[in-house]
Amino acid sequence: MRSDTIKQGLERVPHRALLYATGIPRSEMKKPFIGLASSFTDIIPGHIGMRDLERFIERGIHTAGGYPFIFGIPGICDGIAMGHSGMHYSLPSRELIADMVETIAEAHRFDGLVLLTNCDKITPGMLMAAARIDIPAVVVTAGPMLSGRLSGKRLSLVNDTFEAIGKFKRGLIKKQELDRLEMCACPGPGSCQGMYTANTMACVTEALGMSLPGSATALAISADKRRIAFESGRCVVELVRRRVTARQILTRQAFENAIMVDLALGGSTNTALHIPAIAYEAGVDLPLETFDILGRKTPHLANMLPGGEHFLEDLDWAGGIPAVIKRLRKNLHNTMTVSGRKVFDIADAAVVVDEDVIRPIGKAYHKEGGIAILRGNLAPDGAVVKQSAVSPNAMKFEGTARVFDSEEEGMKAILAGKIKPGDIVVIRYEGPKGGPGMREMLSPTAAIAGMGLSESVALITDGRFSGGTRGPCVGHVSPEAMEGGAIGIVRNGDRIRIDIPKRRLDLLIPEREIQERRKAWKPIKPKITKGYLARYAQMVTSAGSGAVMRSSL
C-alpha cells in the first residue's frame, strides 16, 4: 500500500509516533489509509450539510476495513461571488483545489480518496486532482436543493432572484414580492435547483463513472444521500484492494459518455471548460470540437431549468442519471464505473418513471444536444452557446454591437435601459487572462431575461456564463481579447451575426478593415497586478483548451 511509506520500517518510528498522536489504535495501522477531502463550509448552501455526510462516509470506510482521515478543502459559492470582484476568484479556485487535494494526498501517502463536493468549481477541481494523482477515488456530490415555494409556485435561485431584478426594474413585480422571493427561493441545504453548473457537474461525474449510481440527483436532505455516502466509503476501500485507480475509470470513452449525458440534459456551458480540464489531467486528448461532434447525434431529452421547466428533484424522481443512461444506451460506451458495475448494467437496471422529464429519443425536446460550438472570424478557436436554452426565434441573430470592456460597464448600461432590441452586447476583457479568472455573466444575462429581452437582445463575451443563463448568449470566445482575439477589435455600431444552426459567429466588416484594426490594437492594462490572480493570468491557457494552468512560464 502507498501508506506503507509512512507506516513501515525502523526509520518510520517518528512517523508512527505522530500517527499515534492522532488517536489511531495500533490495530488500525495495517488498514488502508483513506483521505476524505471534505469541502464543508458554512458559506455555501450546497455544502452546509456535509458534516452529516462525512460521518456516513467514515462509517462506510470503517465497515469495509479502511481507516479515514478527514482534511478540509475550501470552496466558493458562485452565486454569492457573482457580479462583483469576488467572481474573479471562482474559476481560478479550481486549480487551487486540485493542487490542494494533490498536495495533501501525496504528502500523507493516502491509499485512496473520497472526494466530498457539490458546487461549481470544487467538483471539477477534485476530479482533476483524482486524475492527476491516479489513485483509487470516489466522488460524493452532496446533492441538490429542494425547490422553493411561494403562493403555490415552485421557485429556483436563478429564475426567481437573479431574473427578478430585471422584472423589478421594469415594474413587473413590487418590492414586497421581491422581498418574499429572496426569502423563499432557497429553502435549505443543497446545490441550486436547476441544471446549473453544480448539478451539471454532479451529473457529469456520475456519467463518468466516478460516483455511485444515483449520487448526482439524490437530494441533499435525503436518507438516500446518506446511504450513498456510506456506500461510497465502502466502495473506495474495495477499489484500493482491487487496485482500480482513477485513470482506469477516466478513459476517452468515459469522457464521451459524460459529454453525451451532459448534452442530453442541456447542461451548463461550463462543462466545455471543466471536462477538457479533467481529461487533460487524465492524459486524454479531448478537443473542444468533441462537444459539437457528439452534440449533432445526441438528442436533448430533459427540459431542465433554466431554459426548461423541470427541477433536479424532478429528474431524481424520474429515475436520475441511470434512467438518462438507459435512454442513451445505444450511443454510449460500456465503460467501467467505481461501483464495479459497467454502464450497460446500470442502464439495464434503471427505470424511467416519468417520460416527460426524461423523454424517449423519438420524442426528444430537440434533435441535437444542449451545447453547440461556434466558429468564425470572431471566434476562430471556438465559442460556446447553450442552444437548448435559446428560443427558435433567436437561433439566428444579427444585430448591432454595443461594446463594453468589463461586466460592470455592461451591467450598468443594461439596468439603465440603454440596451434595445436588436443590440448585441459585447463584454470583453473578461477571459481567463483578461478577467483575470473568466467571470460568469449571470447578472447581465439574467437582467436581460428579466427585462423581457431574451429573444431580442444577444450577448457575446470572452468570459463565461452560469448554468443559469438562457437566451442567445455566446461565451468562451477564443482567442480572448487580452490575447489579441478579434473580439478585442469590435466597435460600437458593428454588425455581428450569430448563426447557431450553421455554428457561426462572425463580425460583418471587410477583411481589410479587420486587419487594419488588428495593427492598431493594443491590450488594456491588466486589471489585477498582484497576488494569486496576477500569477494565474500569466499561466492560464485559453478557454478553448479548458483554461488549464501551464506547468511553466
Q: How far apart are CA 368 and CA 200, in angstroms?
A: 18
**b/e per residue 242-256 (b: at least 16 CB within 10 A):** eebbbbbbbbbbbbb
Q: Which residue has the cell 424511467?
A: 352
Residues in Cβ contact with 39 at an 8 Å cutoff, skipping those fewer than 6 apart: 47, 50, 72, 73, 74, 75, 97, 116, 117, 118, 119, 122, 126
Residue 497 near residue 398, CB atoms below 8 Å: yes
Cα separations (Å) of 392 from 176, 456, 501? 34, 12, 10
Q: Within a 10 A sphere around the Cβ of 162, how many other Cβ atoms?
A: 25
C-alpha radius of gyration, the chain, whole number:
23
Nearest partner of 508 among 525, 524, 522, 495, judged by Cα? 495
Nearest partner of 485 among 528, 445, 426, 407, judged by Cα? 426
Q: What angle do CA 172, 178, 180 make, to 5 degrees?
A: 135
Q: Could you tell me the three cell numbers for 211? A: 460516483
Residues facing residue 127 across a β-bridge: none
Q: Could you tell me the three cell numbers for 279? A: 481529461
Q: Within a 10 A sphere around the Cβ of 84, how many other Cβ atoms?
A: 12
The full length of the chain comes to 553
The DSSP string of 204-221 is HHHHHTSS-TTTTTS-TT
Task: Please write down the HEC assignment for all residues of 457-504.
Answer: CEEEECCECCCCCCCCEEECCCCCHHHCCHHHHCCCCCEEEEECCCCE
Residue 93 near residue 104, CB atoms below 8 Å: no
Residues in Cβ contact with 416 at an 8 Å cutoff, skipping those fewer than 6 apart: none
Residues in Cβ contact with 186 at an 8 Å cutoff, skipping those fewer than 6 apart: 45, 145, 148, 157, 192
Q: How far apart are CA 418 and CA 420, in angstroms?
A: 6
Distance linking the first and last C-alpha atoms of the chain? 36
Type of residue numbered 356: D
Active site residue 478: no
* Half-sphere exposure at residue 138, Cβ-oriented, CA atoms within 13 angstroms: 29
Say which DSSP state 395 is in. Answer: S
Q: What share of the chain is helix, strand, coil (3-state, %, to 5)?
A: 45, 15, 40
Which residue in 222, 466, 542, 545 is the catalytic one? 466
**Catalytic amino acids?**
466
